[in-house]
Structure 1
Amino acid sequence: MKNNNSNTKLILLHPYIQKQGGSNRLWLLAFVSFFTIAFLLTLIYTREYSTPTASTSTTAAATTFGGAPLPTTVINTLLHYASTSNNSFHMAYAELKQVSDVLRKCSSPCNFLVFGLTQETLLWKALNHNGRTVFIDENRYYAAYMEEKHPEIDAYDVQYTTKLSDLHELVASTKKQIRNECRPVQNLLFSECKLGLNDLPNHVYEVDWDVILVDGPRGEWPDAPGRMSPIFTSGVLARSKKGGNAKTHVFVHDFYGEVERVCGDEFLCKENLVESSDTLGHYVLERMDANSFQFCTQNSTLPSASSS
């Protein structure tokens, strides 16, 4: 080993090399430079990909809790930072806490369905720790982007066929079909009701959802799809549960909107409204018998099918 090192030194410093012309010196310099750069690039690459990323750290932190519920301090911290975001479209602390409190009391695992990919998407996933959280959004590209960027997110896209300007016409048409295609208890996968979403993944109709949040689709212009279909669909999914808890909590965000108020009254019902503000309505719906043909027990805002 010692002799090899000596030979190597003699080869590198041999006078023969020193007597070579300028071209040989340049060749040697280029040769050494190449291997030096290659070594540095390899070192940088190794350091970059061996350093834990933010998502890796988050996953490791979540794994630490295992099957246990999130500690109260963690939940409060998440709510605090989510509500103090600089983005003007985020939900306020009071709204976040309402949903969070219900998720905390939900029996594990909690089934949480969210209409809309928003600023709170990652928060909802984190708060429903150990539970099942599914997101539905009208933008297929954004849904694909979120799943690629955050593999833990379960998101699907849906094609809405409604228009905000047709609100009252659609509600009236739905009520006329309340004993047929637009029944309050049914499997929407096989329904032709105009307000029913029948193109979601099959398993969405099979899950007994404990909590549903309507925070999409976006848009308030006349040709926007509006939230008529998500609200109607939420009412049917809640009443058509076959197992689990008989009650379903349905939250409607942007509760000041006409669509949210009208469809909430018609398909989620005032008697089920347990808490509300200008921005968030909280309903608690009971499972119904398969032969039920009435959404609300109290009078609704539009004439029923029997009086038309």
Structure 2
Amino acid sequence: MKTSAKFIVLHPTVHKSGGGGASSHRAWLAVFILFFIFTFAFTLLTTRETSAAAKTAINATSASKSQLPKPISDALLHYASANASSSGRMSSAEMKSIAAVLRRCGGACNFLIFGLTHETLLWSSLNHNGRTTVIDESAYLVSTLEEKHASIEAYDVQYSTKVSELYYLMEHYKAEMHKECRPMQNLLFSDCKLAINDMPNHIYDVAWDLILIDGPRGYSAAAPGRMAPIFTAGVLARSKRGGADQTHVFVHEIFREAETVCSDEFLCRENLVEVVESLGHFVVGKMGIDGKEVGFCSNSDSPESI
């Protein structure tokens, strides 16, 4: 009697009952994908918020750290003014006027100083996070400063003016006020007798926040006088690119004739903020592209004396 062997072949599809299982698997897959997307988006958003908060906190901390603590700045001012009665030195009140502006920019100003004086180290310390540049008539004093305090940027220039030439220089300016002596220009290429054009080239490109005129010598007829630094400060403030729209300009010993005449003409009475003892404080704004067509002051009449 013949027997036939029977083979049973199992196939995965035999255990599937219609398409319901496939639909179920696809549904779970979709749920998983949506969950993954939600989790990823939530993590990304919270990470960004945390990062932004952290950056804000870091910036706030950096700003507070960049400022010299007030007790330290007060101590520096105190010791700097200990011998303020000496001839030519600033008084405590005068130094505090400049220090107040330095403090407002967090000790991170672009600070240009004409005249290497007893207060030079004070200005550099109060402006510890900024740029302090000194221009002086004495190559010897500049060299000595660089040897002792290499961190301070200093340069010497040769002045061709004399206090005795004040009114001759003013006549020259009036004749050239719309040409070589205009209030908005590149001083490097100026032929105005009042322009200082032999400083290092990069000095003219800096957007100075403060300019202090405490030199050169101006106490005798043969001294260079401060006519050229005052004129140059007026042009730098009006011609600057970038930075704040205004520049604080301080003129020490402002009641001397040359300082008064030039401050009136190039910094302008309308820009005078205050006078603290013998320190004049001006705030000079930038000029527009039409600066070459106008004078330094909005009032063309001769201003009153300070």
TM-score bracket, shorter-length normalisation: 0.7 to 0.9
User: Is the CA contact 1:228–1:260 (under 8 Å) kept in the aligned structure 2?
Assistant: yes
Aligned residues: 238
Listed one character per residue, the Cα deviations across residues 233-263 of structure 1 (whole Å, up to 9, x for unaligned) are: 0000000011010000000001121111000
In 2 relative to 1, CA 277–97 (structure 1 residues): closer, same or farther, beyond 3 Å? closer
Q: Which amino acid aligns with 1:99?
A: I
Distance in 1 of aligned mates of 2:207 and 2:174: 25
Distance in 1 of aligned mates of 2:172 and 2:233: 18
User: Is the CA contact 2:68–2:107 (under 8 Å) kept in the aligned structure 1?
Assistant: no
In 2 relative to 1, CA 269–231 (structure 1 residues): closer, same or farther, beyond 3 Å? same
Match of 1:91 in 2: 90
In 2 relative to 1, CA 247–66 (structure 1 residues): closer, same or farther, beyond 3 Å? closer
1:256 aligns with 2:258: no
Match of 1:171 in 2: 170
Distance in 1 of aligned mates of 2:283 and 2:113: 16
Shift of 1:108: 6.4
1:191 aligns with 2:221: no
Listed one character per residue, the Cα deviations across residues 257-282 of structure 1 (whole Å, up to 9, x for unaligned) are: 11110000000000000101441000
SS in 1 for 2:101: helix
Listed one character per residue, the Cα deviations across residues 26-47 of structure 1 (whole Å, up to 9, x for unaligned) are: xxxxxxxxxxxxxxxxxxxxxx
Match of 1:295 in 2: 296
Match of 1:45 in 2: none
- What aligned pairs does 1:217-232 form with structure 2 within 5 A after superposition? 217-232=216-231
User: Is the CA contact 1:210–1:247 (under 8 Å) kept in the aligned structure 2?
Assistant: yes
Listed one character per residue, the Cα deviations across residues 96-123 of structure 1 (whole Å, up to 9, x for unaligned) are: 0000000111266310000000000000
Match of 1:180 in 2: 179
Match of 1:51 in 2: none
Match of 1:22 in 2: none
User: Is the CA contact 1:186–1:290 (under 8 Å) kept in the aligned structure 2?
Assistant: no
Listed one character per residue, the Cα deviations across residues 1-38 of structure 1 (whole Å, up to 9, x for unaligned) are: xxxxxxxxxxxxxxxxxxxxxxxxxxxxxxxxxxxxxx
Q: Which amino acid aligns with 1:120?
A: E
1:70 aligns with 2:68: yes
Q: Which amino acid aligns with 1:298?
A: N
User: Is the CA contact 2:107–2:127 (under 8 Å) kept in the aligned structure 1?
Assistant: no
Shift of 1:175: 1.9
The structure with more radius of gyration = 2
SS in 1 for 2:231: helix
| Range that drifts further, 101-110 or 141-150 | 101-110
SS in 2 for 1:263: helix
Distance in 2 of aligned mates of 1:153 and 1:180: 35
| Range that drifts further, 244-253 or 270-279 | 270-279
Shift of 1:87: 6.4
Match of 1:145 in 2: 144
Match of 1:154 in 2: 153
Q: Which amino acid aligns with 2:152?
A: I
In 2 relative to 1, CA 285–134 (structure 1 residues): closer, same or farther, beyond 3 Å? same
- What aligned pairs does 1:45-56 form with structure 2 within 5 A after superposition? none
User: Is the CA contact 1:161–1:225 (under 8 Å) kept in the aligned structure 2?
Assistant: yes
1:79 to 77, 97, 103: 77
Under a length normalisation based on structure 1, what TM-score does the superposition of the two structures give? Answer: 0.74
Distance in 1 of aligned mates of 2:105 and 2:286: 16
Instruction: Specify every segment of 5 or more residues in structure 2 that has no aligned partner in the other structure, as ranges.
Output: 1-62
Match of 2:54 in 1: none
1:122 aligns with 2:111: no
Distance in 2 of aligned mates of 1:88 and 1:296: 35
SS in 2 for 1:125: helix
Distance in 2 of aligned mates of 1:297 and 1:177: 18
Listed one character per residue, the Cα deviations across residues 192-230 of structure 1 (whole Å, up to 9, x for unaligned) are: 110000000001000000000000002421111100000
Q: Which amino acid aligns with 1:253?
A: H
- What aligned pairs does 1:205-244 form with structure 2 within 5 A after superposition? 205-244=204-243
User: Is the CA contact 1:227–1:259 (under 8 Å) kept in the aligned structure 2?
Assistant: yes
Instruction: Specify every segment of 5 or more residues in structure 1 that has no aligned partner in the other structure, as ranges.
Output: 1-64, 303-308
Shift of 1:66: 11
Q: Which amino acid aligns with 1:289?
A: G
